[in-house]
Structure 1
């Protein structure tokens, strides 16, 4: 007979936010319901009026000299987030730990953590089983300002830095990676694309919508072009009013929730990848259709669909950037997006670890003692937390270098590679630490493990990251 539980009773699933920095050791104590989680100090201003989280963060009046990225204070001094110049000189900056948060970023982390536990956590299991994002959750993400974190205030966004977006993505993933990836793709791929490559007219037209009520989606992958993204077969041609698009896209995140799509198609196939061009497509455009919604192992509440384009005509103003530059745009955006996925994976690993650590140190007993008191278990917990901390250091170092204007491609690849490995390893171990309670769907342990598997696949597989890292290393060490 197989015993599936070590003790009777349901497995509580609340993940209590740790006080202070999100990398701080999980506060070990008994489980509580979401309603019983104490409001965090700086997040206490949140009330039934749904005060935006970003306003909560800015109310701290953070001294900008204490930002995680030692250069991020420059982001607060200008409205033009697309300015590109020489890398900032960091030698004049006071050194700070990589994972040190400014007061603003710290308040952001605490506020998002509270929001995720109070609002998202009670719906996680239902959304996972229904394989559908709750529309009310999406609405509240907009209301709290989490869908326009880097969009400047003049366009209706929060005007915060890249690290703040990474903080939000990580905190959401500690509770539900499905919600986290919705926010990640929207912020790091879609919003960034318009900010970087859109005309001022397109920014004024689209950014206020993307910040307040319109979900965005990024359409690059196709049935025959996944890792080889630029072998895409979707075609575009010029028409009397602008452009006409034909083809199909596959594995498209946010497709069920989105009304705004950035679509990559080849305008000049004879030029190969140099003909790839980026376009903006509205969901209501004639000829646009969602053909299939995929049923997935993990991140089930996140929609992943096949999209068809059948003579989809768009105006000339929906060209994003320049013709033939789509391949360059996609590469740049994915490099930034990989830091977001890495943060999703570290958040997942933290959530999984905390959930299991509380259980083995407070509830699960064998041979008359708490399992967490056994040295063998303690060593596994210590090793796992060390690896999570190392992954987080890679993530925030990549974010820091990106904000500093330094080359961060290798750092982003290493962060995504290692974070996805750690997330898979820790979430798998957590199931074993919890025994039968980790294996049943009553708790969150098995869901964390299922959700972790995608980390090694999307926005560049682990093998692609290894190839990128190796190529960059070869340049450094080739005479």
Structure 2
């Protein structure tokens, strides 16, 4: 569950992007929290390391993450939510180290995370072109993890992070300096394609119920208003899934997001 499309060389299953979507979809039908954790781990955390990490970073982190360790992606801040790249957390170079100062909000799975991928500015003067991704271990000195209460999917924690002059070596940089924005957009596009499971799970629970419950002498299922809603839901779900599968089977998984966006707009008009 934590290394579905990670190469067997790094103790993963060696599957591709498409099977990982199927696994997470099935899990999400019954437990959105577990599916969310697995989704973020496989798509974002492992995906970033696989694509942009050095061989040494892959050998270290992918092997650690595969069996049981959890990673978190740290982008959002109190003043940078929907406009995520307006972030204020920064890293100042001091010799062979960087000193990171700032805070992050709404970080999924952070309560249990062993490894954080933290997006920070190394040069705020150049805007998003200064955003860089750093590895930060949980036990790093001056890293403080808070807790945020939320209403839904509560078994998947979200926490705040405070970094008070956290010192990390140059080797903690993932990929190239200033490419963090590009990395984040690429990963999050793929991540958005993976969550039709909860909708299908709701339908799977609802369908038997409306066929058993009797009102005014007949099943709820047999009322025209119910039938219209079910038909529309099935139509949208089937087209949505078909679009995801088509995009995920493509040799370039980033096209999944483009397919979904186009299909969503086409699907707004019922047949």
TM-score by length of 2: 0.92
Which of 236, 247, 252 matches 2:91? 236
**Alignment counterpart, residue 209 of structure 2, candidates 359, 380, 394:** 359
| 1:21-420 → structure 2 map (5 Å cutoff) | 146-291=1-146, 293-340=147-194, 344=195, 346-362=196-212, 364-401=213-250, 403-404=251-252, 407-414=255-262
User: How far did residue 406 of structure 1 move?
Assistant: 7.3
**Range with greater deviation from structure 2 (211-220 or 384-393):** 384-393
Distance 1:416 1:210 in 2: 34
Q: Report the secondary structure of 2:112's partner residue.
A: coil
Compared CA separation, residues 224 and 406, structure 1 to 2 (3 A): closer
**3-state SS, counterpart of residue 29 of structure 2:** helix
Q: Is the 8 A contact 1:395 1:415 kept in 2?
A: no
Cα deviation digits, residues 309-364 of structure 1 (max 9, x gap): 11111122111011111111111111122212xxx2x11111111111111112x1
Report deviation, 1:397: 2.3
Q: Give the deviation of 1:239 after TM superposition.
A: 2.2
In structure 2, the CA distance between the partners of 1:228 and 1:163, relative to structure 1 (3 Å rule), is same
Question: Can you give the 5+ residue segments of structure 1 that lack an aligned partner in the other structure?
Answer: 1-145, 422-479
Report the Cα offset of residue 404 of structure 1. Answer: 4.4
Moved more, 152-161 or 233-242: 233-242
Instruction: Sort the Cα spacing of 1:247 and 1:412 in 2 relative to 1 into closer, same or farther, 3 A.
Output: farther
8 Å contact kept, 1:339–1:416 = no
How much has 1:378 moved relative to structure 2?
2.8
Alignment length, in residue pairs?
268
Please, what is the CA RMSD of the aligned residues?
Answer: 2.0
Structure 1 SS opposite 2:241: helix
